[in-house]
């Protein structure tokens, strides 16, 4: 009975009908001769509908080429061919299937077992997505660790480096004052002064993206800041490059650190000028109130609700490709020639603007220029302007007495000379304990204390806390190589008047001292 061909046919038909996998007999022309019920269950087509179409009509367009290649191997007589593709369902969807196909050349037929692998493909896609996400998290963690390590290194060297800069800039200022503007050496001293400020900018760049340089936020009229920056920067505009200003007349203000925003504008201006490569072109500097109805809607999700100012700088220079654009905020990445740039500029810009609660976005295309957008949160507080500095002592009046504390003797000697040059009486101590003893001996004998933050015996905050216990109303200013949010917050709790970055402008420090002393007199 086992040799009865009728029974064999019955067994085959029964197996064909009951198989969980899809079974198919197709001819070399591409049409289906026979399909089992699993096809109808999987794709929703009826048997009659499937027998009227060719496989080409069901295969996803993106899989046609690979499917044709598999067919060529079958027609060439390869014993078995395995491949995958997507086939269309009756409802318009697509399902992934895996083919095990066997050719019978004599019959011009193809016999195939087809398995639905849609769930497997979805699982694989999800696994890839999870792996990509994990890879991104790992990269972000690695980048964060790099920045943290660099920030720690920056914080470690900032104190000593800022002392050196303070010494260079302070002595240059004293020498310029001694010689006068007409002296032959004045120009060289000015160059020393400029070089020292550039070195200070480099330190601030490192500290900015290392998050060790907290901004001192005050209400600031943005248009006034932009106009001040233009007075300085317009002189560096190359010949053949035109400048267009689009500045809103609206007097809006932001909580900002003027010095840091000036640094941001300086950096963006330098980048824009260098993008021209000596060729003629056009720069556009703009400032306007920004809301979510502007063309920057795509950036809105990255910012909290509230009013913002948009400051932009657009150049018609060489522009950047997509690969470069993705890396512009990476520390030490630069498109300039070796020795022409540190790669810290835009990293610092990003760090500073982020510390202001804002956002930086860059649009660029090769040969079509670059636009940098800065979005800064606005405030309804009244914008304040710096009070005019009064740097002379009234005739017949006893000079104000300033106590300066710094473990670096060179810096202390310099600062005492600068304070005395301003008509003030200045006393210096390298030892914080000695400074405390001096205040204990004469609590009313000092009008202001200026102290370094990093000192071996105790830091500036510890000294301020002890000074408060001796005389609560004695103004204290702390100088620090790096000004972190934590240092500023702790200082505010103690009643410290200001925390100032070391290595800055001598005029800025003189102005601060004079304003604090003038406030006491008013």
Q: Residue 5: its pLDDT value, please? A: 53
Cα 188 from Cα 208, distance rounded (Å): 30
For the domain spanning 139-209, the CATH number is 1.10.287.130
Q: Is the pLDDT of residue 214 over 80?
A: no
Cα 475 from Cα 446, distance rounded (Å): 9
Q: Is the pLDDT of residue 114 over 90?
A: yes
Q: Residue 29: its pLDDT value, please? A: 85
Residue among 23, 39, 96, 103 at smallest CA distance from 71: 103
Extract the tokens encoding 12: 């085959």
Cβ–Cβ under 8 Å, residues 454 and 159: yes
Cβ–Cβ under 8 Å, residues 172 and 192: yes
Enumerate the domain spans of the chain. Answer: 5-116, 139-209, 218-379, 401-521
* CB atoms closer than 10 angstroms to residue 78: 13
Q: Residue 393: its pLDDT value, please? A: 44
Alpha-helix residue ranges (DSSP H) falling in 19-117 = 37-43, 47-52, 55-58, 64-75
Q: Is the pLDDT of residue 402 over 90?
A: yes
Q: Which fold has domain 5-116?
A: Beta-Lactamase (3.30.450)
CATH class assigned to 218-379: alpha beta
Q: Is the pLDDT of residue 207 over 90?
A: no
Q: Residue 201: its pLDDT value, please? A: 67
Has domain 401-521 been given CATH number 3.40.50.300? no
Cα 515 from Cα 433, distance rounded (Å): 28
Q: pTM score, two decimals?
A: 0.48
pLDDT in tens, 178-202: 887 778 888 888 888 777 777 776 6
The residue that leads in pLDDT, 203 or 393, is 203
Determine which of 82-91, 175-184, 242-251, 383-392 has the lowest per-residue pLDDT on average: 383-392
Q: What is the mean pLDDT of the segment spanning 45-50?
A: 92
pLDDT in tens, 284-301: 999 998 876 555 555 666
Cα 100 from Cα 111, distance rounded (Å): 8
Q: Residue 235: its pLDDT value, please? A: 81
């Amino acid at each position: 009975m086992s040799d009865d061909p009728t029974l064999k046919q019955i067994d085959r038909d029964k197996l064909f009908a009951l198989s969980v996998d899809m079974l198919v007999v197709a001819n070399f022309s591409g049409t289906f001769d026979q399909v089992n019920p699993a096809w109808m269950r999987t794709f929703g087509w009826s048997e009659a509908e499937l027998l009227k179409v060719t496989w080409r009509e069901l295969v996803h367009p993106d899989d046609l080429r690979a499917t044709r290649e598999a067919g060529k191997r079958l027609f060439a007589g390869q014993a078995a061919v395995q491949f995958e593709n997507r086939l269309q369902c009756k409802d318009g969807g697509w399902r992934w299937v895996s083919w095990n196909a066997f050719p019978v050349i004599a019959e011009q037929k193809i016999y195939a077992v087809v398995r639905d692998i849609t769930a497997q493909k979805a699982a694989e896609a999800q696994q890839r997505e999870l792996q990509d996400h994990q890879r991104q998290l790992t990269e972000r963690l690695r980048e964060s660790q790099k920045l943290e390590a660099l920030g720690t290194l920056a914080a470690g060297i900032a104190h000593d480096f800022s002392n050196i800069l303070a010494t260079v800039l302070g002595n240059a200022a004293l020498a310029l004052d001694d010689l006068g503007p007409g002296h032959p050496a004045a120009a060289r001293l000015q160059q020393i002064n400029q070089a020292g400020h550039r070195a200070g900018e480099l330190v601030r760049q490192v500290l900015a993206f290392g998050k060790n340089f907290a901004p001192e936020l005050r209400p600031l009229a943005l248009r006034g800041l932009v106009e001040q920056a233009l007075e300085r920067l317009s002189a560096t505009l190359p010949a053949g490059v035109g400048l267009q200003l689009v500045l809103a007349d609206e007097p809006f203000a932001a909580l900002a650190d003027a010095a840091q925003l000036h640094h941001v504008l300086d950096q963006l201006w330098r980048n824009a000028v260098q993008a021209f490569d000596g060729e003629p072109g056009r720069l556009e500097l703009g400032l306007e109130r920004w809301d979510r109805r502007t063309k920057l809607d795509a950036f809105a999700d990255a910012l909290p609700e509230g009013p913002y100012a948009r400051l932009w700088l657009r150049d018609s220079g060489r522009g950047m490709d997509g690969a470069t654009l993705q890396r512009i905020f990476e520390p030490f990445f630069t498109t300039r020639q070796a020795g022409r740039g540190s790669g810290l500029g835009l990293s610092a810009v990003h760090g500073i603007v982020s510390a202001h609660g804002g956002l930086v976005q860059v649009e660029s295309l090769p040969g079509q220029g670059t636009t940098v957008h800065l979005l800064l949160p606005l405030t309804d507080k009244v914008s304040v302007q710096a009070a005019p500095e009064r740097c002379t002592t009234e005739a017949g009046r006893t000079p104000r007495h300033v106590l300066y504390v710094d473990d670096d003797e060179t810096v202390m000697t310099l600062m005492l000379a600068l304070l005395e040059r301003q008509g003030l009486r200045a006393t210096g101590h390298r030892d914080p304990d000695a400074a405390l003893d001096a205040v204990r001996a004469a609590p009313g004998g000092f009008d202001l204390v200026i102290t370094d933050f990093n000192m071996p015996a105790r830091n500036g905050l510890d000294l301020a806390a002890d000074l408060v216990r001796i005389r609560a109303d004695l103004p204290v200013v702390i100088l620090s190589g790096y000004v972190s949010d934590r240092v500023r917050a702790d200082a505010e709790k103690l009643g410290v008047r200001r925390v100032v970055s070391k290595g800055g402008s001598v005029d800025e420090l003189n102005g601060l001292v004079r304003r604090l002393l003038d406030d006491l007199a008013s």
